[in-house]
Every structure is written in C-alpha cells, then in structure tokens.
Chains A and B, each alone.
Chain A
Amino acid sequence: MATTAPLARTATTTHRRRSRRMARRRNIEGWLFIAPVILGVVIFQLFPIVVSMYASLTSWNGINPPKFIGLENFRTLFGNDALFTTTVKNTIYFTIGTIPLTIILAFFLAMLCNQKVRGIAIFRTAYFAPYVTNIVAIGFVWFYFFDPSQGVVNGLLSQIGVHGPAWLSDSNWVIPALIVVSVWQGVGYPMVILLAGLQGISAEIQEAATVDGANAFRRTWSIILPLLTPQFFFLLITQFISSFQVFGLIYVMTQGGPGHDSSVYIYYLYQNAFAYGKMGYASAMAWLMFVLIAAITFIQWKLQKRWVFYG
C-alpha cells in the first residue's frame, strides 16, 4: 500500500501532461486551420481600416508619403467645401425618396406574390431579377430609356400628350429619375424578406380575425403589418445603409451631373480619392460617413422599442 499512492500519483500526472499536450496540439491545429481567415481579416480588413483612420489625418495623394495634418481634413469638410454640403443634401434627398418607395412597393409585391395561384414563382423571379442584375447594365438600359428625344419614357409620355423632360440633364428631374431606377432595381430583395415574413404569419390568426368580422384592410392594418415590423425594421436599416452609399447608378448614368445636381456623397468621395488624388481627404469623408451611419443606425435601434413587435 505504501508504494501504491506515489505510483497512482505518477500515473495521474503523466495522464494530465499527455492531455495538456494533446489539447495544446489541437489548439495549434485549430489555429492553423483558421489562420487563413484570420490573416485575411487582418490584412484585408483591419489593416486598411487602421490605414484609412491614419490617412484621414494626413494630406496624402496616394503616391508620395502622407503628411500628418491633424484634423485639417475634417475642418475643411465642415467649413470650406461647398460641394460636400451639396453631396450630403443630394444623398439625403435620394435616400428619403428611395427607402419609403422601395419598402412600400416591396410590401405590395410581397402581398401579391403571397397568393396561391399557378405560375406565381415566375412573378417572384421577375421581381427579384433586377436585384441580381449588374448595375452597369441596368444603368445603361435606363440611360437609353430616359433619352429625351428617343427614349421609351418620353415616347410613352408623348402618347398621352405629355412632353417629357430631359430626365438626366434636368436639375429638377435627375434625382427623381435615379430614384425610379433604384427602386426598380432594389425592390426584389425587400420583397423576398417581406414575403418570408408573410409566410410566417399564422393563417389561424387571420381566419380568427375574419370570423370576428375583420375585412381585408383591417386584417392587413391590425395583424399583418404589426407582425411584419421586425422585417420592416431590418429593411429600414439595410436600405438606409445601401441608399446612403449609392454609387454605381450615379457613376454610370449621370457622373454627378447636370452640374453637381446628382453628385452624391460616395461619388464625391470616389472623385476625391481616385480622380483628384486626395486620399487623406477621402478617408476623412469615409470615416465621417461611418460615424453618421452608425449614429443613425443606433437611433433606429433605440427607437425600435416603440414600434417593432416581436410577438
């Protein structure tokens, strides 16, 4: 007995060491397996973020070494750049025009596509197709649609005696025209989200409401819309972010014109970075946009308690 206890202790210690060695080895293997992803995140995401943060505090043309200038870029943005103000206004105009129209239209399309009729999948696909179509192709097609003399839009308007404007060259019409294209292109995605939400609403609740005498409008207003508020909330946030970052349509269709009437924030940021070689200034713009979007998203998040129903 006297020798048994030390032997047992030795065996236990050896077992622990082996377990620790095995655990360490598994840890190493695990790290090695996820190393490509971690490296990718560090090199392609964290590093550019840090560089961009530093660049925002410098005067840098992207070719020569950056020169540290503190908050000068931000001071210029707020105090000495009229075009910055113009592009912010245009972006807000575009966003305010796009989001409600997209979500309302998406809701109606989702309601239509929720019907159990033959061939409904074709309609769902048709509405979703623009969303997965290349924005350059869409831009070019609509560019020709909006041609003032030979475009389809003015051609149709002339059939009813209306002389259409030069949509993309008219200060008053250029952003509404872009909103139309953006809504047409982007409505498919929110429609699918809302359709999924609609299909998650219990048929029993609606039947009960019908039995209680609720008509279609009442059922929509009091049952369907409240139960879809989580989807609306999600769409509000994602649509806000994507509308605020609109670039492709502007780049392809108007290049910010006429004048600067359709120049939006990201397009101006792009011009500063890659056309004027003001990488530092563009980085400051990017960080400002990040803060703005984060702040508005935070406010939306806080306000959701008042209107989003997770029942």
Chain B
Amino acid sequence: MNNRGTLTRRTMLQTLAVAGTSAALGGCARRSEDKNTITFLNWEKTEGTPLGQAVQAFEKKSGKKVDIQPAPTNDYDTKMRTALASGVSPDIVRINDDYVRGFSDTGSLLDLTKYIERDKINVADYAGPVFNFPKQPDGKHTAWVIGYEPRLIYYNVDWFKSAGVPLPPTTWSGDGWTWDDFVSTAKKLNKGPGKWACLVYLDTGVEQTFSINNGDPTGIYSANGKKFTLDTPKGIEAIQWATDLTVKHKVQPPWSELQQPSTDTTFFLQQKVAMLFDTFGVTPYFRENIKNFTWDVAPPPAKVNQRTESSVVVFAVPKSARNPDAAWELLKFLSGPEGGAILAEGRQYTPINNEAAKAVKPDKASPAHLDLFAAAGAHLTQPNQTSNTLGARDIYRPALDNVYLGKESAKSVLTSVRSQVEKALTETS
C-alpha cells in the first residue's frame, strides 16, 4: 500500500508540536521586546511633526522605543474603545478632551496621582487651568495634558490693507474689537460670494467661546456636566450672532459650502475668507503653505468677556497598559521643559510647561503676533466635562444644522433639544 500523500497521526502530532513550540518561543521573544517598548495610539501620523520630534528625543534620552500606532481620525474613538475593551490596550492613548470624563467613568483609565505625588510634580510649573483639566470629581487624575491649542482669529493682512480697514488689536484687548466692531469690519472686507470676510461657525469652539464671551457663566454645559446651558438667552444670542454673519450680513460662507473636510484651512489658504476663527493647531500648516500673502492672528472679539476655547492635547494611560511606568516617563518628558521646548518650537501647541511656553514667540515668518497664543493662557475657557459629551453633541449639533442653514432660529432649535441632550448627559458614554 502506498502511503505517500496521506496524513498519518504521527505527522500531524509532529506538525502541531513544531507549531506550538514556535508560537511559544515567538511569544517569549515578544514579551522580552515589549519591556523596552511603549505602545502609543494616536489619531494622526507623527513623523516630522513637533510631537514626533519630541518622542524621538525621548527615545534617544531614555533608550526606550516608542511604537506609535496612528489611526484615522474618523475611526479613532472606535479604535480606542475597542483597544480598551480588549484588555490588551496600548500603553498610552490620545484622548479627545471632550471624552475624558466619560472614559474616566468607565474606570478604564489609570489614576496618575501616585506618579504625580511620587515625582513631586509642582503644579506651579504648569498652566494651572489646563493642568487640572483631567482631574475628576473623585480626585483621580485620569489623563495628562501636554499642551493646549487656543483658538484665535487668523486674518489676511494684505486683504485688510487693500480694503483700507484697520488691523485688529495685537494684544488681548477689546478696544475697537467688540462683536459689533467685528461685524462692521467684516462688512468692509466682504467682496461677495466666494470672497467672504470671515468664517467663525465651524466647530464646537464657537459655541463655547462666544456664549461665554456673551456673558453666559458656563457655556455649553453646566459646571457639573449635568445640564445643557447653551439654550440660555446668552447662549442663544451667541449662536444667533454667529449665524447672522451668514444669513443676515452675508459675510460668511453658507453652511452648505463648509461640509467638505478641511474647508476652513483651504478657504483661508485660497484667500476665500479674510478672517478665520481656528485653533493654534493649524499654524504649522499655514506657515508651510501660505506663500503669497501676509497673515497674522488676533484675539476673538470681546463682549462681556474676551476668552477663547482651547482644545487640550491630552493623553491617558489605560489601566490595562503593560508598561504604565514607562508610559508615565514619556508623558512627563513631553510635558516637561525639554519635550515642551520641542513642541513650542514646532508652533503647534502651547506647551503646558510654563518655562517651555515662553518659547512660543514670533520669528521672521508669520504670524507676527504668535505670542498671543502663549498669552491666551490667561484667557482660556473649556467646555465643562460631562459623562457623555459625544452623545449630547450628536443631538444638539445636527439640530443646529437648521440654524446654520438659516431655516430655524437658534432659540427654537436649542430649546427644543434641551430635554434630549440632558437625558443623554445622564448616560455614560
């Protein structure tokens, strides 16, 4: 009988044994390698960015390897949630500042208090308001801020000059730069469809900034994160003001033309808008790509207040991280003087470290008043943390589409969604 080509029990057992041994040896090698590697989930690639350079400096200094795993921004929250649920999460995860409370409530983020106390971190060395941002009501410090991105008005200096309009203030001052002044300036700058004076209403930053500046005490949510407060008279007036720039004054692009990705930066770059309310994060892009006109930055227009919402660049160490100690070392480096200096040099974030933040100052390239970003530290506001910001936002923001499209008033829309939003705020995302 010819047995060639048939599978004997012995052959199968031998094959399984070899496969098992290989897998076990591979696992050992992996574990050995893991001890020296920090895995890092981020929502963008870091090669060539200030963050990437700071991470490289840490690798050089510590001898550790940082394995950055970029995930597409749109799918980032899904990937992060899946990673946390798997129980084998990365050592560090970037986390949207709006979701820190929600993820903290799930108990999946490591309390960093023991590291803060062990290393005697001095709060006075950091920008106070944002340093305590990740501190939860129960006292746990569940995330770590390395920098912040204040929103300012980017403006096209040449456009102003050609229209003969005085430039906005170069300090955090409301003199000649109130909401009414802003509208008046916009009307003078406006050149009709395709050449609009301003672009203000794009993301939640406008809702928080302008409602606070209009005198609302808490902005979108109440201090305890349980109430929806954008529907107060001050909040409603702020949203209507931003909308009226389009529907009443015709100085802002229609909402329907802003649905493509990166419209804000593209419109400013292509000189389709003269003034843009955007974060510090777009500065490196503008510095690299704007070659044919001079641009600068100014504070947002003032009313009762003159503050600005700042996105916070925040990271967390999951409880299931394999190398929490090494992860903390990296976070400490990024928020320290050395890492902070690299971030400041890249002009993408204002580093949380006060000493490093001093490096955020103008150079030969635009903007001439870059130091306004550093000075913004004294004028910050942030949306109050809630347990389910995403759930709440997915109710009121789509509803605002009808306001921004000019179909309904801010009052009718915001008051109609209040109960739904507050119901969402009672849930944990």
Contact = CB atoms under 8 A, between A and B. Distances in A.
Contacts of A276: 388, 390-391, 394, 427, 429
Q: Which 3 residue pairs of A and B lie closest in terms of their CB atoms, listed nearest first?
A: A166-B256, A169-B256, A274-B78
Contact of B81 (A62, A170, A257): A62
Contact of B429 (A170, A258, A277): A277
Given A147-B260, A277-B429, A29 B7 contact: yes
Nearest to A80: B423
B398 A32 contact: no
A149 B194 contact: yes
Interface string A107-124: 000000000000000000
A257 B401 CA distance: 8
B255 interface: yes
A5 interface: no
A169 B405 contact: yes
Given A274-B78, A275-B78, A32 B256 contact: no
A263 B395 CA distance: 12
Given A61-B428, A147-B260, 9 more contacts: A63-B81, A63-B106, A148-B254, A166-B254, A257-B401, A258-B401, A259-B402, A263-B398, A271-B394
Contacts of A271: 394
Interface in B177-217: 193-194
B362 interface: no
B104 to A, nearest CB: 11
B84 A63 contact: yes
Interface of B: 7, 12, 77-78, 81-82, 84-85, 102, 106-108, 193-194, 254-257, 259-260, 388, 390-391, 394, 398-399, 401-402, 405, 420, 427-429
Nearest to A278: B427
Contacts, number: 77
Interface of A: 29, 32, 61-64, 82, 143-144, 147-149, 166, 168-170, 256-260, 263, 271, 274-278
Q: A63, A149, A169: which has the most chain B beta carbons within 10 Å?
A: A63
Interface of A is mostly: loop
Contacts of A169: 255-256, 259, 401, 405
A148 B256 contact: yes
Contacts of B429: 61, 275-277
Contacts of B427: 276, 278
Nearest to B12: A32
A62 B78 contact: no
B222 to A, nearest CB: 21
A18 B255 CA distance: 81
Contacts of A166: 254, 256-257
